[in-house]
Chain A
Amino acid sequence: MKKQSLHPNPLIIIRLLFLALLTNLSCLAYAEGKPVRGQVLDETGHGLPGARVSAGETAIATVTDDEGKFSLEVPVTTRILVIQALGYERQEVEITQAPLLIRMQVQQQALGEIVVTAYGIRRNKNDLPYSAQKINGQEITATRESNFINALQGKVAGLDIERNNNLGGSTNVVLRGIKSIDGNNQALFVVDGVPVDNSNTNTYLQQIGSVGYDYGNAAADINPDNIESVTVLKGAAATALYGSRAANGVILITTKKAGRPGFGITVNSGFTTGSIDKSTWIKYQKEYGGGYGPYYESPDGYFLYRDILGNGVDELVVPTSEDASFGARFDNSTMIYDWKSLDPNSPYYHKKTAWKAAANDPSSFFVKPFSSNLSITAAGANEDGGFSVGYTRTTDKGITENSSLIKDMVNVSGSYKLTKKLSVSASANVSSINGKGRNNTGYNGSVAGNFRQWWQTNVDIKELREAYFREKGTNATWNYLDPDYLFPIYWNNPYWNIYENYENDSRLRSFGNITVNYAATDWLDIVARAGMDAYHEQQEERNAVGSVETPSYSRYNHNYSEMNYDLIANFHKQLSDAFKLSGLVGTNIRRTHHESVFSITNGGLVIPGFYALSNSVNLLAPPEEIDERVGVNGIFAGATLDYQSLLIADLTLRRDRSSTLPKSHDAYYYPSASLGFVFSKLLPENNILTFGKARLNYAEVGNDAPAHSITDLKYPRAPFQGQPVYHIGYTKNNEDLKPERTKSTEAGLELAFWRNRAGLDFTWYNTHSVDQIMAIPVSGATGYNYKYVNAGDIRNSGMELSAFIAPVKTRNFSWMININYARNRNKIMKLPDIDNIQLVNWGTPTLNAALGQPYGIIRGTDYVLDEKGNKIVDETGHYLISETADNIIGNTNPDWTGGVSNTLKYKSVTLSFLISIRKGGDVFSVDRWFGLSTGLPAETVGNNDLGNPMRNDIDDPEHPGGIILDGVKEDGTKNDIRIPVEYGTFGDAYNPDKAFVYDASYVKLRELSLSYSLPAKWMQELRYVKNIEISFVARNLWIIFKNLPDADPEDGFSSGNYQGFQSGSMPTARTYGFNLKFNF
């Protein structure tokens, strides 16, 4: 590559940016760089290739060549070089005029990275008596996923992340299984010591797959480019200090900060595009068109028979009202009138066409997604302080037209030493998220559900697109009620849905903290911190005049704020040569306020296309108002006693008082005790086991009640005949609630071998979550649908394994494998008075928490089997269906999950890829339940055992159709009854729910990146530019294995407790693109 080609525009822009920064930050004046040269040697005195040499803690860095040599241009203010290499101790050397010769020391305990633990305490991982796993920022940004949570998938053992295919969709984040039957099970997100809200505001109807948009989770506002590292604290012992909200584990995020003196800028820019993965979309049959059967007016019964042209001749008309494909067999010689020939504005008006399968099926509805990102971060520091600023903009366009998600994120942080003892630091993060055209999910709302469940295979999607754009403002649809009634009966034109009935949303958020640190003595620090997280969001939804739905406009405004005030005294004292004591005493005051207003027009819209509440046809009903405040006052203390880094004991205790509990039970305690034993210290020096530690701990944490669940409330409804109306609500509240508790025991083993060429971290745990606070569904005969109670016990036990190995490590080539594996077994040990809690009701199939079963079993109707396990058919030849719907037909929990990531480096080329695996767990496919009924997938056509088309009439004298189901008759003999293939034969009508439960296992090539750092010697010729890395990134390239036909088994509706159902599943997008990263 010629250097000139790199010179032009970007550099000029960067220089200008530089100038701007310099003017503002004169104290950190940057002068011309100075060259530094040297060689890095290994323990034997040979040159060490591949070592990273950086100017202080900045991004100005290079990598040593084959002989261990390097040369780097550093700012003149830089006085220290940092050298890091896998398996060696980190070295810092002062820069001298002469070439440097640096000898590296072999690292004795390579696992000993610094991790951040509860309340921001930095500890050496070797000393931790509980499980914690750390992910570096580079791993999160490697494939430029705009929601950083998704980028954690497969990288942390036991972190169960379920994402879905919605643009900006929500991501379910659960650690070590579902613990709360009714409550929140999502992990707590903490940024720089301050909790950050991750709730989603999706409606209940959206979460259970009925109707609604997926607005995603709020933690997606965290800028991935600003993340230095993420530490996942999985068990209660690690999190007990956080009190009420820590039961579900904590994801601790440390943002980038200026480190040692110096100055640097990083610029990232890239884009990705892609296409849908066809294995996640339905493959349509192409032999039969629209209709439910021979029920209509034409002689053969498959068509309407109308005098379309007014010439007294009845002609064949497609039954447009029928959203199924059990109609007439396609035949080019049959000339018909279809939806477009009924529409007077269409060029096809009153024109007959041949009866044939659509040239463009609904897979053509999806377009190439496109996303781009630009991020700039700058950091600088001197002896007294430092700053970091960053700006990131990402734009995502989804796989449906008219959809986009734009994020602008600004981060500022700084710290300054006011005196020798007193320092202050602050950070502020502002994000603005603007979404449009997120997809409507679920059975009643989604376009994908329309395509998968209720469709005519003769309808050409491109013709629908043409009709929409030709006739803007009219809903010209394939699903006209009747040739005499040209308006939609059940389904809009899908383009009408996405261009007229779209949503838009925005969220403006700021979070950050101010911290004062006072080093009172050499053994005591006092930290005072105020943290704030506040956002305002607005969601607007519309149904245009002309839609199937009542025209409407709705608006939801939500304000959230959380303030946290911490005052913590940290102490650390060497008690004797052998004993070291450290600890903290602190208080935390938390206040959250959540308020929202939802209002919707009533009875339609007066002016079409005008979306305001005032445009309501009738007077507005009272808006729904929510106003919830929660306060928690906590005090806590913790102590760590360290004996020669051999035995480490941790004890913590926290007491919380929560406003959501009755006054008499509002205080409660969370104790934890942990012990770590570094047994490798007792072993003789050896070349095999480098490090070994055993851990054991016990902890209790709790959850308080949801706000307003103690006293019964009344709910206003629209007045009727001028009279006020109140309802009593469907949930019985309870004045006797007490906190629910999770009791957790954890044991673990950490090992490192062969000078850290390989290592593993194994954890076993067992948790009991007792006295659960839940609104249990109750028999309607009680007068309520739910009641809050304090009862039940869920056990989660499981194991987690993370391991790494470097099979190859030579001068030019290295290969690193990281493996994560987790299995969790969840069992409901106790329920209050009842033996089952129905979580979601889909008709006969239901999602349940049943006694003695894991959380999230699917119940429904089942086959009736004989003793040998054969399916029994009834006298008509259809499968017998169990009379009751309480049979267990599936379990949504996976047997295990895992991830394998590989990183291969050859000189300055790095290839890394991540395979993520889920084994087991079931999903109920509503898409298949109905889609097979309506005859859409290819498997609903074909030949029967006689070699005849199975859809032929069963009584056809020459070529009888029909099929014989595999099974036995009630008398035990083999089934020989032929049944017709008609609407319902393969779907919901004639089959038990069990037939639509699928194994949700998958093996996916989730991430792939190939990056190339331009050689350091080229950089030297580019002033200012220290490093340029170009990478190819790809996500979701290949679903290597799955058992669920036509959809991605991972896809769901929303984050939350209702998983394991699919309806209107969006196809998965394979994405790939390029990213360019500059360091200055």
Chain B
Amino acid sequence: MKKLLIFILGGITLFSCKKNLSDLNQDPKHPTEVPAATLLTAAQKSLGDVMGTPDYAFNPFNLFAQYWTQTTYTEESNYDMQFHSVPDNLWRALYSQAWMVSAPNPDVYSEILSALHAAKVGLQKDNSPANETAKQNQLAVVDLLMVYAWSTLVNVYGDIPYTQALDPDNLQPAYDDAATIYDDLLKRIDNDLDQIDINDEGFGSADVIYYGDMNAWLKFANSLKLKLGMMLADVNPSKAATVVSEAASADIFSSNDDNALLRYESVTPNTSPLYIQLVTTGRKDFVGCSTLIDAMNALNDPRIGMYYTDSAEAGEGNYAGAPYAENNSYGAWSHIGDMLLDPQFPTDLLDYTEVELLLAEAAERGFSVSGSAEEHYNNAIRASIAYWGGSDADADDYLAQEAVAYTTAAGSWREKIGTQKWIALYNRGLDAWTEWRRLDYPVLTPPAGMSQSDIPVRLTYPVAEQNLNGSNYNAAAAHIGGDRTSTKLFWDVR
């Protein structure tokens, strides 16, 4: 019997010594290190997903801009942002990670600043000489995308954690003053511009926006600088004038070919977020909104047939939008245009049309840019019509109208540029809402029972910030003048 016991004892000892215990804790299915390029691709796709999604839990801004309105569940159209936790979702989608689409649709995650930050850290650690020249370009691309994301966060919330952010060792990052963040973002763009060498490699095909073309990134940097500079035009005109004229005199977007687009594939989960939300889910949450459709009908806008389908009620070739924020039946009104439902429909992050309209505005403000406001205005409209598939003749006819032509269109330059920018920024609700806040045009329709001043001019901070970062949240709320949707951002002084 002793032999048996020795055998058992021996067996147990043998088993326990066979393997180092901590080796068991290695994950055989997930790596600890990956190339920075794989994180860049993830961040670029995520940026396209977040900016392009019509999911009202993340991006309700096509409603805010009154391009669309909801059919049955009208919470977001009525500016109820808490119902689907919009502030929390968008915050996490930009900063850390958010689960945007879950099974049974293939999962789609957003990971932007966190992924870019990890890519940056990875690149900085990579000291292989072979990569030295590309590394500077790669760091610049990563940083430019971060600037884009940071400016988006500021434009939505105001003060945000910035200098202390993206550091998991500091679980309660303090908020920074929004204007100070803007100053730093502009410095970073300048720094990136210095760092870019257009003769060197970038990320190559892992860069799914410009495919490694550093000249395109240089133009992107200047165009982004132009846009951020113009954001300061009302609050700090002298700084805006300097930044805008610097950017305008450098190499910026000069045609639709320069547009920063995230192009999707034909099959899920890599289709456009519009396709996922509007086609594969089968939901019919949106119809065209009368605010834009009425305006476009009045201007005989050639883009209307791309933006919307015709309406069953109005008849073939006619477009009718539903009243904003009311309970609407899907069948009666114009729907979102077929072009937007193509699985490959790209997300437009920054484009030539926008640049031309910024230049038009710069000319009106007396900033030092070449060309007249009218020239830039016309270039913008032509570019936009071309982008949506219209012809030169369409553009000519459109511009020939009294209500459109720059010299004859009604209102101040703010109204003229504001209205055309609003039309041109279709499906880019966040930018349209930002420009509406800055230019105060067009006049939007408040939902029933609300007034113009009830239309949000920012999102409140996430509920999670109240719970997880309470003292910094309170300080930030006090600093901006209250965590309300009616608190104007620092650049929104008019």
**A positions within 8 Å CB-CB of B:** 205, 211, 292-293, 295-297, 304, 319, 321-323, 419, 421-422, 481-485, 487-490, 516, 518, 526, 528, 541, 543, 547-550, 552, 554, 565, 567, 587, 589, 591, 600-604, 617-619, 621, 625-631, 633, 657-660, 662-663, 666, 707-708, 710-718, 720-730, 732, 776-785, 787, 832-838, 841, 843-844, 846, 848, 859, 883-886, 988-989
Q: Is B160 an interface residue (CB 8 A)?
A: yes
Chain A residues within an 8 Å CB radius of B29: 625-627
Q: Is B5 an interface residue (CB 8 A)?
A: yes
Known interface pairs A516-B4, A659-B22. Does A778 touch B72 (Cβ–Cβ under 8 Å)? no
Let me know if A205 and B102 touch, CB within 8 A.
yes
Let me know if A781 and B282 touch, CB within 8 A.
no
How far is the CB of B418 from the nearest CB of chain A, in Å? 31
Known interface pairs A548-B283, A603-B268, A720-B45. Does A659 touch B330 (Cβ–Cβ under 8 Å)? no
Which residues of B155-172 are within 8 A (CB) of A? 160-161, 164-168, 170-172
Let me know if A322 and B72 touch, CB within 8 A.
yes
5 CB < 8 A contacts A-B: A717-B42, A725-B38, A781-B160, A787-B171, A843-B84
- Among B25, B97, B466, chain A packs the most CB atoms within 10 A around the CB of B25
A822 to B324, CA, bound (A): 56
Cβ-closest chain A residue relative to B467:
A836
Cβ-closest chain B residue relative to A663:
B22
A833 to B24, CA, bound (A): 32
Chain A residues within an 8 Å CB radius of B164: 781
- Among B9, B24, B173, chain A packs the most CB atoms within 10 A around the CB of B24
Cβ-closest chain B residue relative to A712:
B32
Let me know if A779 and B72 touch, CB within 8 A.
no
Let me know if B97 and A730 touch, CB within 8 A.
yes
Let me know if A589 and B16 touch, CB within 8 A.
yes
Let me know if A659 and B25 touch, CB within 8 A.
yes
Q: Which 7 A-B pairs have the closest CB atoms?
A: A482-B331, A552-B104, A781-B161, A618-B267, A783-B114, A295-B327, A659-B24
Chain B residues within an 8 Å CB radius of A657: 21
Which residues of B1-40 are within 8 A (CB) of A? 1, 4-5, 8-9, 12, 15-16, 19, 21-25, 27-35, 37-39
Chain A residues within an 8 Å CB radius of B19: 631
Let me know if B97 and A781 touch, CB within 8 A.
no
A1025 to B82, CA, bound (A): 68
How far is the CB of B485 from the nearest CB of chain A, in Å? 11
Excluding A713-B30, A720-B265, A721-B41, 8 further A-B contacts by CB distance (< 8 Å) are A422-B4, A552-B105, A603-B268, A666-B22, A724-B35, A726-B39, A780-B462, A781-B164
A841: which of B95, B205, B464 is its contact (CB, 8 Å)?
Answer: B464
Chain A residues within an 8 Å CB radius of B466: 884-886
Let me know if B327 and A843 touch, CB within 8 A.
no
Let me know if B16 and A726 touch, CB within 8 A.
no
Let me know if B42 and A727 touch, CB within 8 A.
yes
Q: Is B256 an interface residue (CB 8 A)?
A: no
A846 to B39, CA, bound (A): 32
Let me know if B118 and A489 touch, CB within 8 A.
no
B467: which of A485, A833, A859 is its contact (CB, 8 Å)?
Answer: A859
How far is the CB of A194 from the nearest CB of chain B, in Å? 15
Let me know if A723 and B329 touch, CB within 8 A.
no
Let me know if B38 and A724 touch, CB within 8 A.
yes
A131 to B5, CA, bound (A): 35
Chain A residues within an 8 Å CB radius of B208: 720-721, 723
Let me know if A618 and B268 touch, CB within 8 A.
yes
Q: Is B463 an interface residue (CB 8 A)?
A: yes
Let me know if B96 and A784 touch, CB within 8 A.
yes
Let me know if B24 and A730 touch, CB within 8 A.
no
Known interface pairs A711-B32, A718-B270, A783-B96. Does A321 touch B329 (Cβ–Cβ under 8 Å)? yes
Let me know if A841 and B85 touch, CB within 8 A.
yes
Let me know if A490 and B283 touch, CB within 8 A.
yes
Known interface pairs A528-B5, A779-B172. Does A603 touch B166 (Cβ–Cβ under 8 Å)? no
A663 to B26, CA, bound (A): 12
Q: Is B151 an interface residue (CB 8 A)?
A: no
Interface of B is mostly: loop
Known interface pairs A550-B105, A727-B109, A779-B465. Does A718 touch B97 (Cβ–Cβ under 8 Å)? no
How far is the CB of B439 from the nearest CB of chain A, in Å? 30
Let me know if A567 and B9 touch, CB within 8 A.
yes
Known interface pairs A589-B16, A727-B42. Does A779 touch B331 (Cβ–Cβ under 8 Å)? no
Chain B residues within an 8 Å CB radius of A629: 24-25
Let me know if A422 and B32 touch, CB within 8 A.
no
A617 to B16, CA, bound (A): 48
Let me know if B30 and A779 touch, CB within 8 A.
no
Let me know if A782 and B167 touch, CB within 8 A.
yes
Let me know if A552 and B103 touch, CB within 8 A.
yes
Let me know if B102 and A781 touch, CB within 8 A.
no
Let me know if A721 and B270 touch, CB within 8 A.
yes
Let me know if A490 and B72 touch, CB within 8 A.
yes
Let me know if A550 and B282 touch, CB within 8 A.
yes
Cβ-closest chain A residue relative to B85:
A843
How far is the CB of A933 from the nearest CB of chain B, in Å? 11
Cβ-closest chain A residue relative to B12:
A565
Range class of the B interface residue count: 35 or more
How far is the CB of A1080 from the nearest CB of chain B, in Å? 38
Let me know if A782 and B173 touch, CB within 8 A.
yes
Known interface pairs A618-B267, A844-B82. Does A714 touch B33 (Cβ–Cβ under 8 Å)? yes
Chain A residues within an 8 Å CB radius of B160: 781
How far is the CB of B152 from the nearest CB of chain A, in Å? 14
- Among B92, B104, B466, chain A packs the most CB atoms within 10 A around the CB of B104
Let me know if A838 and B106 touch, CB within 8 A.
no
Chain B residues within an 8 Å CB radius of A625: 29
Q: Is B306 an interface residue (CB 8 A)?
A: no
Let me know if A297 and B463 touch, CB within 8 A.
no
Known interface pairs A714-B31, A787-B168. Does A484 touch B331 (Cβ–Cβ under 8 Å)? yes
Let me know if A619 and B267 touch, CB within 8 A.
yes
Cβ-closest chain A residue relative to B97:
A730
Chain A residues within an 8 Å CB radius of B85: 841, 843
Chain B residues within an 8 Å CB radius of A783: 95-96, 113-114, 117, 165-168
Chain A residues within an 8 Å CB radius of B484: 883
Q: Is B457 an interface residue (CB 8 A)?
A: no
Known interface pairs A626-B29, A783-B96. Does A600 touch B327 (Cβ–Cβ under 8 Å)? no
B463: which of A722, A723, A787, A844 is its contact (CB, 8 Å)?
Answer: A844
A843: which of B82, B205, B284 is its contact (CB, 8 Å)?
Answer: B82
A625 to B326, CA, bound (A): 46
Chain B residues within an 8 Å CB radius of A628: 27
Q: Is B312 an interface residue (CB 8 A)?
A: yes
Let me know if B72 and A660 touch, CB within 8 A.
no
Let me know if B329 and A297 touch, CB within 8 A.
yes
Known interface pairs A721-B208, A848-B467. Does A587 touch B12 (Cβ–Cβ under 8 Å)? yes
Chain A residues within an 8 Å CB radius of B165: 781-783
Known interface pairs A631-B21, A660-B25. Does A833 touch B42 (Cβ–Cβ under 8 Å)? no
Known interface pairs A484-B312, A781-B173. Does A567 touch B8 (Cβ–Cβ under 8 Å)? yes
Let me know if A838 and B464 touch, CB within 8 A.
yes
Q: Is B367 an interface residue (CB 8 A)?
A: no
A199 to B107, CA, bound (A): 25
Interface string of B105-134 (1 = CB under 8 A from A): 111010101110110000000000000000
- Among A323, A603, A726, A859, chain B packs the most CB atoms within 10 A around the CB of A726
Chain B residues within an 8 Å CB radius of A552: 103-105
Chain A residues within an 8 Å CB radius of B297: none
Q: Is B91 an interface residue (CB 8 A)?
A: yes
Let me know if B97 and A727 touch, CB within 8 A.
yes
Known interface pairs A516-B4, A630-B24, A783-B96. Does A728 touch B467 (Cβ–Cβ under 8 Å)? no
Known interface pairs A603-B280, A785-B92. Does A489 touch B330 (Cβ–Cβ under 8 Å)? yes
Q: Is B269 an interface residue (CB 8 A)?
A: yes
Let me know if A321 and B41 touch, CB within 8 A.
no
How far is the CB of A138 from the nearest CB of chain B, in Å? 37
A666: which of B21, B84, B105, B282 is its contact (CB, 8 Å)?
Answer: B21
Which residues of B295-312 are within 8 A (CB) of A? 312
A777: which of B8, B82, B109, B468 is its contact (CB, 8 Å)?
Answer: B468
